[in-house]
Amino acid sequence: MSHITLSLILTAIGLLTVFSVLLLFLLSISVLMKVFKDKDEVPEAAAIAPVVLPKAPASSAVELIDVDEKTAAAIMAIVSHESDIPLAELKFHSIKKTD
């Protein structure tokens, strides 16, 4: 056998090995997905029903102590952003400047 023929045979064996392992991974993942799919299913009524959260009454009266409105607005926006809670759901009683 020549070197070219041997190298082509080894390349073919390598490619078949790689694709057979990929096929084995595909089949094992498919089986695992089918096994765990049954356990994760939720009842249809629970999946469709919307969740209604009670809303607090909107009170825009925030006591500002030694803080201007622009700074207070920035503080409230930062708190809302960092906590991932919408600003409308947060209730601020007062904002006070500290030294």
Instruction: Report whether 74 contacts 82 (CB < 8 A).
Output: no
SS3 15: helix
* Side chain identity, residue 48: I
**What is the rounded distance in angstroms from the CA atom of residue 64 to the CA atom of residue 71?**
10
End-to-end CA distance of the chain: 87
**What is the chain's pLDDT, residue by residue, as a tens digit (99 residues)?**
789 999 999 999 999 999 999 999 999 999 998 888 766 565 565 556 666 666 655 556 788 889 888 998 899 999 999 999 988 888 888 888 887
pLDDT at 82: 92
Torsions phi, psi of 57, nearest 5?
-60, 135
Which residues neighbour 63 within 8 Å (Cβ) at sequence distance 6 or greater?
93, 94, 95
Residue 66, C-beta contacts closer than 8 angstroms, at least 6 positions apart: 96, 97
- Name the residue with tokens 């030694």: 66
